[in-house]
Amino acid sequence: MAEKQVLLRAFNVRKGEVMIAVCDCELLGKKFKEGKLVLDVCRDFYGGKRVSLETAVDTLRAATLANLVGEESIRCGIEAGIIHSDCVLRVDGVPHAQFVLI
pLDDT digits (tens, 9 = 90+) for 1-23: 467 899 999 998 788 888 999 99
Give the CATH class of 5-100: alpha beta
Taking the C-alpha atoms of residue 90 and residue 42, their distance in angstroms, rounded to an integer, is: 17
CA 59, 62, 68, 74 dihedral sign is positive
Q: What average pLDDT does this structure show over 55-59?
A: 93
For the chain, give every domain's residue range. Answer: 5-100
Q: What average pLDDT does this structure show over 33-39?
A: 95
- Over residues 75-97, the pLDDT tens digits come to 999 988 889 999 999 999 999 99
Name the percent of the chain lying above pLDDT 90: 78
Taking the C-alpha atoms of residue 102 and residue 86, their distance in angstroms, rounded to an integer, is: 20
Kindly state the helix (H) or strand (E) to which residue 72 belongs, with its residue range: helix 71-79
Per DSSP, which regions of the chain are E strands?
5-14, 17-24, 31-34, 37-40, 49-52, 65-69, 89-91, 94-100
- Residue 48: per-residue pLDDT: 92
pLDDT of 102 above 90: no
- Residue 1: per-residue pLDDT: 47
Report CA 92 to chain centroid distance, whole Å.
17
